[in-house]
Chain A
């Protein structure tokens, strides 16, 4: 039983990573209805920026918020320069652009900061929480940050005019234009916010997995799994999905002998396929009732 609880808590901790990533994935999906394969690399690049700032002597929280701002601007710029021109292009053009971004961020990061792994500081400390050995302070801090992000996003989309406009632009662009919403800018804003959330995810994840250009490869897939399981249209669902993937992955790795640590990734992929088969909108995806 102890082992079970321990693994659930450990799963919750890794789940926090996936939840953060899943949140960023859902943000872009809402804006452009595509999965951004380059999301992980964008987050990794942001994390390197934070690392560089800290190396230059900027205090942790200063580097943290500066990185968020820079990433937000970067996300907006990427949308305006790369994806806006592709707006009416077929899906294949988008995929090529995502892959190009992926490769560019990965190799440029390797070129600037090389491929040796670097340690990244945590603001929460490394000791274990309440001395219990079940969950580290950083893990708890990361889960806290994810939940704070989620609440902020919820309030933003529910209670602000810009949030309302972004939802309108995502759900019905033609109608949104007819009430005066600048749909193109709302999409750019979605990219900026996704890049910023990705930066937060990266900075939370880096102390756990160490910083290097390929650090997000597997995490992005788990993030996708979380987002898909929870429903690509629901930020809350994505976070729950992220936690669920973390827990399932840990439990399966511990209690199903054949799985071990090698097959964990396969579990995530199997989970995506299974959920899509039975519930294409994800567990918490929008069920919009329409009557004509």
Chain B
């Protein structure tokens, strides 16, 4: 088996003096989709923030064979890790198109950037109709589409998604996850997906990890986790 794209060993994380992660070990295989499940406050968002260098961490994080622990966010992004943050991180006062251009801030291939913007519009026609509109006026679902499109503008190797289904109507969620499956299968994009909607996440993921108060308590192939008696009761509700 080839080396994983992302390999995390003994990851700890702090908010100031408060410790939130207590030594996590996990991997994201190249072209694989991994989901991180857990209750509110378990440390899912914190884990993604740690990977993006947004909080103080200890432990080893290696991405594409290179250590990124302790690097600043701006440099981690340049290595090809795109982060769709909790709350979507929309630049509300800017237009949809400016949001997309910002996603490509680290690139200088102007023509390819223009092509990628059109490609994003092809994935999400609703954004195309609103390209000149102030992004803060988009609906929640549209802002989530914009956040994912913005992340794709980086041409990332790994995309971190923090609760992409949050606050969206079931129909929109389905549409969104169909596109994620597309990205995985057609473009070979690796993803680490944090979700409250465990059933949905387990459907698109290859591997799943369960996190409780900053510690991993279970891991395995998504199917196996999905059929586990305790997981079903705690997270899937059947």
Contact = CB atoms under 8 A, between A and B. Distances in A.
A and B co-occur in one complex: yes
Interface of A: 161, 164-165, 167-168, 171-172, 174-183, 286, 288-292
Contact of B73 (A161, A164, A178): A178
Given A161-B105, A178-B83, A181-B105, A286 B93 contact: yes
A174 B85 contact: yes
Given A179-B77, A180-B105, A181-B74, A290 B83 contact: no
A209 B156 CA distance: 56
B138 interface: yes
30 contacts: A165-B105, A167-B91, A167-B93, A167-B94, A168-B91, A168-B102, A171-B92, A172-B89, A172-B91, A172-B92, A175-B85, A177-B73, A178-B73, A178-B77, A178-B85, A179-B77, A179-B105, A179-B150, A179-B154, A180-B77, A180-B78, A180-B106, A181-B74, A182-B74, A288-B93, A288-B136, A289-B92, A291-B137, A291-B138, A292-B167
Contacts, number: 82
Interface of B: 52, 54, 73-74, 77-78, 82-83, 85, 89-94, 98, 101-103, 105-106, 134, 136-140, 150, 153-154, 167
Contacts of A165: 102, 105
B93 A171 contact: yes
A78 to B, nearest CB: 22
Given A164-B102, A180-B78, A291 B139 contact: yes
Contact of B154 (A164, A172, A180): A180
B136 A177 contact: no
Given A168-B91, A172-B89, A179-B103, A289 B137 contact: yes
Contacts of B101: 161, 164
A161 B104 CA distance: 10
Contacts of B83: 178
Contacts of A164: 94, 98, 101-102, 105
Given A178-B85, A179-B150, A180-B154, A290 B92 contact: yes
A179 B146 CA distance: 13
Nearest to A177: B73
A180 B167 CA distance: 27
A267 B140 CA distance: 45
A289 B139 CA distance: 12
A288 B89 CA distance: 15
A7 B66 CA distance: 68
A175 B91 contact: yes
Contacts of B92: 171-172, 288-290
Contacts of A161: 101, 105
Given A177-B74, A179-B154, A290 B89 contact: no
A288 B93 CA distance: 6
Contacts of B103: 179
A164 B153 CA distance: 15
Nearest to B142: A291
Contact of B136 (A174, A178, A180, A289): A289
A228 to B, nearest CB: 20
Given A177-B54, A178-B82, A182-B74, 5 more contacts: A167-B94, A168-B105, A179-B150, A288-B136, A291-B137
A19 B82 CA distance: 41
Contacts of B94: 164, 167-168, 171
A291 B140 contact: yes
A178 B77 CA distance: 7
Contacts of A289: 92, 134, 136-137
Contacts of B93: 167, 171, 286, 288
B96 to A, nearest CB: 13
Nearest to B136: A290
A168 B92 CA distance: 10
Q: Give the residue among B74, B78, B89, B101 with the most A Cβ atoms within 10 A.
A: B74
A184 to B, nearest CB: 9
Contacts of B52: 178
A89 B204 CA distance: 44
A289 to B, nearest CB: 5
Contacts of B106: 179-180
A130 B160 CA distance: 65
Nearest to A167: B94
Contacts of A291: 136-140
A126 to B, nearest CB: 43
A135 B226 CA distance: 80
A180 B82 CA distance: 9
3 closest residue pairs by CB, A with B: A175-B89, A180-B106, A180-B77
A292 B136 CA distance: 8
